[in-house]
Chains A and B, each alone.
Chain A
Amino acid sequence: MMEVNGGMAIDTATAPPPAAGVVDGPVGLTGPAAESGPAPGPTAAPDGSQAAGAAKLEVRGLGLYYGDFRAVRDATLDIRANAITAIIGPSGCGKSTFLRSINRMHELAPGARVEGTIHLDGIDIYGPDVDPVDLRRVVGMVFQRPNPFPTMSIYDNVAAGLRLAGRHSRAELDEVVERSLRQAALWDEVKDKLRAGGTSLSGGQQQRLCIARALAVDPEIILMDEPASALDPIATLRIEELMFELRGTYTIVIVTHNMQQASRVSDFTAFFSMDEDRAGYLVEHGPTPGIFTNPREQLTEDYISGRFG
C-alpha cells in the first residue's frame, strides 16, 4: 500500500505548490487540492517515495496484550529499511507498546502476550530460535527520559553493551566508543571528559549519550520512544538532526506526540488510534507527506489537524 501512495506522490510532484494553509490548518486538507493528490508541504520531510528499499520489518496481524487487556489489535504494516518511520496517535493508542514489541521489551511486563508475527529480514523474531537478548543487540532502543547508567562514566556507558557482554580489547573499545560518540554528535563535547559521570551531562547530551550507547552494539534498527519529549527545543533539534544523519544507515522507528516532529523527520508515518475497547489499531500508514497533506482516513485528518487527541 505504501507503493501505491509513493506512486501518487510522484504523480503530483509537478502539481502547483499548495496553499500556505495546507500543513497548518484543516482548511486546505479538505479542499479540492487535497482531492487531486498529496503535495509536499513546506515543512514536509524528504519525500518518502525516494527512500527506496525493502521492508526491514514485516508486521502481520499483531495483537499485544497486558493480561486480559488488549493494547494493540491486528496491526499489519511494513517498515522500510534505512528510513525513518514515525508512529503517531493519541495517548493510550498502543504506540509505545507496539514499539516495545519490536525488540521484545513488551514481554517484560507481567502478563504480556503477543499474537501475530513480526519478521525482521524474513526471520520471525518471536520464533522459538530467537533469544530476545540477541534480538535486542540488533534492535536498539532509546527511551523517553535519558537513562545513562549513573554509576558509569561517559566512556563506560558507551562501552557497556560490548564490555558487559564479552571480552573486548581496550583498543577495540576505544575505537567503538569514539565512533559511537561521533555518530551521536557528542564526541566534541565530551572527548576531554570521557571519565566524567554520564549523569553529569545536560539532558540533551545525556540523550545523545544514550543514542551512542545504543549505536555501540551495532544495531540495524533503532527504536525511539518519544526521545525528545523530555528535552528543550534546542536539544530536540539536535536529536532530530542526528536522526537525519543516522537515516540511511539505520532503520529508525520513532514514537512521537509531536506531529511537527513527525512531519519534519520521518519518511513514513503510521497513525494509530484506539477503538471503543481501548485497543489500539493502525488507522493508516504511508509516506509522511501523504499522511500529513492528504490522509485517506477522516480519523487521521481529524487527528493531524488537531480536532481530537
Chain B
Amino acid sequence: MSGLARPVAGPIVRPPIAERLAGRRERRRTVDRAWRGLALGATIVAVVPLAAVLLFVAVKGAGALNPDLLTKPPKALGVGGGALNSILGSAQMVALGALLAVPAGILAGVYVAEFAGAQAARVVRFASDVMVGIPSILVGIFVYTILVLPFKQFNAFAGSVALAIIMVPVIARTTEEMLRLVGRELREGSLALGLPTWRTVVSVVIPTGLTGILSGVMLALARAAGETAPLLFTALGSRLVNVGDFGKPMDALPVFIYNGARQPIAALNEQAWGAALLLVLLVLGINVAVRARSWARRAG
C-alpha cells in the first residue's frame, strides 16, 4: 500500500480509475527496451570471444589439418611431418590419467554423498573445490618433484598422474552433486525392500545419477586433454612417437602447439594451428557429446 495510504478509519478515498491506469505504459516500454538492449549487448560481448577464437583457429588451422598431420610423426631432422606423436601421446596420457582418476573420483564422490558424516563431507568438498581452482602449473611442479626429480627422467607416467590430479576433483564433485540429486525416496524404496546400503548405492543410486556422472567424467577428460603446463614439467614432450613407454618423455597436443607456436618458423607455426584446430574439435566434440546425451535424455 505505497501510493494509496489507507486511512486508519473512515471511507477509502481513491482517485478515478482513468487516472490510476494512465501514463505509465510509455515509460515502461522505454525502460524495458533499454534494459533488453543492454542485456543483449552484454551477451554478445560474452559470446563474441568464443566465436572469434573458434573462427580464428578454424581459418588458421584448416590448411594445416591434413592427413599428414594426423598420420606422420615430425621429421627427425628439419621441418615437416605431422603430429602423430602428440595425438598418440595425448590419447595415452589422458587414458592412463582417466584410468587413475575415474575410479578415485567416483568413489570419493560416492563416499562424500552417501557415507561421510557432515563434517567430513564439508572438508572433502572444500578440498575438492580448492583443487578444481588450483593453477594447473602447481600440479605440474608437484608431480615434477615427486615423480620426475627422483628418477632424473621426464616421463609420461608423471604426465598421466598430473592429468589425473586435475581430473579427480572435477569427477568427485560432479559425482557428489549428481548423487545428491537422487531423491531420498528412491534410497528408502530400495532399503525398504531389504537391500543393504551398498547394494542400494550400487544398483539404484549410482545408475540413477549415471548420466550426470558420465558428463562430469567427459568434461574432466576434455579439460585434461587441453592442459599444457603440468605436462611441460612431467612428460616434457617429444619428437618421437612413444607408444606404451611411460618411463620416457611423451608428446601431447597442447605441448605440440606450445612448441610449434614459439618457433620462428612459419611451417611449424602452421602445424601448431592445425593441432590447435584438432584439439578444439576434440574438446568441442566431447562437450557436444555430453550435451547431446542430456538432451536425448530430457527428450526421451
Indicate whether B261 reaches chain A with its CB closer than 8 angstroms. no
Which A residues fall within an 8 A CB radius of B?
103, 105, 108, 133-138, 140-141, 143, 145, 147-152, 160-161, 164-165, 210, 213-214, 217
Indicate whether B242 reaches chain A with its CB closer than 8 angstroms. no
Closest to B196 in A: A133
* B188, B204, B210: the one within 8 Å of A105 (CB): B188
Q: Contact check, A137 vs B194: say whether CB atoms are below 8 A apart.
A: yes
Given A150-B208, A151-B208, A160-B190: A165 and B185 within 8 A (CB)? Answer: no
Q: Contact check, B194 vs A147: say whether CB atoms are below 8 A apart.
A: no
Bound CA span A134–B193, Å: 9
* B189, B196, B199: the one within 8 Å of A149 (CB): B189
Given A149-B208, A151-B207: A141 and B192 within 8 A (CB)? Answer: yes
Q: Contact check, B195 vs A147: say whether CB atoms are below 8 A apart.
A: no
Enumerate chain A residues within 8 angstroms of B194, measured Cβ to Cβ: 133-138, 161, 165, 217
Q: Contact check, A213 vs B193: say whether CB atoms are below 8 A apart.
A: yes
Bound CA span A178–B194, Å: 20
Given A151-B207, A164-B199, A164-B203: A137 and B193 within 8 A (CB)? Answer: yes
Q: Contact check, A147 vs B208: say whether CB atoms are below 8 A apart.
A: no
A170 CB, nearest partner CB in chain B, Å:
18
Bound CA span A108–B187, Å: 11
| CB proximity to A under 8 Å, residues B164-195 | 183, 185-186, 188-195
Q: Contact check, B195 vs A164: say whether CB atoms are below 8 A apart.
A: yes
A-B contact count (CB 8 A): 70
Bound CA span A126–B276, Å: 65
Q: Contact check, A210 vs B199: say whether CB atoms are below 8 A apart.
A: no
The 5 closest A-B pairs by CB, nearest first: A137-B194, A161-B193, A141-B192, A136-B194, A151-B207
Bound CA span A207–B185, Å: 13
Q: Contact check, B199 vs A136: say whether CB atoms are below 8 A apart.
A: no
Which B residues fall within an 8 A CB radius of A?
183, 185-186, 188-196, 199, 203-204, 207-208, 210
Q: Contact check, A140 vs B193: say whether CB atoms are below 8 A apart.
A: yes
List 29 A-B pairs, Cβ < 8 Å. A103-B192, A105-B191, A133-B194, A133-B195, A133-B196, A134-B194, A136-B193, A137-B193, A137-B194, A140-B192, A141-B188, A143-B185, A143-B189, A143-B192, A147-B183, A147-B185, A147-B189, A148-B189, A149-B186, A149-B189, A149-B204, A151-B208, A152-B207, A160-B195, A165-B193, A165-B195, A210-B189, A214-B192, A217-B194
Main secondary structure of the interface of B (DSSP, over half): helix
A83 CB, nearest partner CB in chain B, Å:
21
* B185, B191, B208, B210: the one within 8 Å of A145 (CB): B185
Enumerate chain B residues within 8 angstroms of A151, measured Cβ to Cβ: 204, 207-208, 210
* A135, A138, A147: the one within 8 Å of B186 (CB): A147
Bound CA span A133–B197, Å: 9
Bound CA span A86–B112, Å: 39
Bound CA span A224–B185, Å: 14
A48 CB, nearest partner CB in chain B, Å:
27
Bound CA span A143–B190, Å: 11
Q: Contact check, A161 vs B207: say whether CB atoms are below 8 A apart.
A: no
B286 CB, nearest partner CB in chain A, Å:
24
Enumerate chain A residues within 8 angstroms of B186, measured Cβ to Cβ: 147, 149-150
A118 CB, nearest partner CB in chain B, Å:
16
Which of B183, B190, B193, B207 lies at the interface centre, i.e. has the most chain A CB atoms within 10 A of its CB?
B193
A22 CB, nearest partner CB in chain B, Å:
38
Given A149-B208, A151-B208, A217-B193: A165 and B188 within 8 A (CB)? Answer: no
Closest to B193 in A: A161
Bound CA span A12–B196, Å: 50
Bound CA span A224–B183, Å: 19
Bound CA span A220–B102, Å: 43
Enumerate chain B residues within 8 angstroms of A145, measured Cβ to Cβ: 185
Bound CA span A79–B194, Å: 22
Bound CA span A210–B185, Å: 12
Q: Contact check, A165 vs B207: say whether CB atoms are below 8 A apart.
A: no
Bound CA span A149–B203, Å: 10
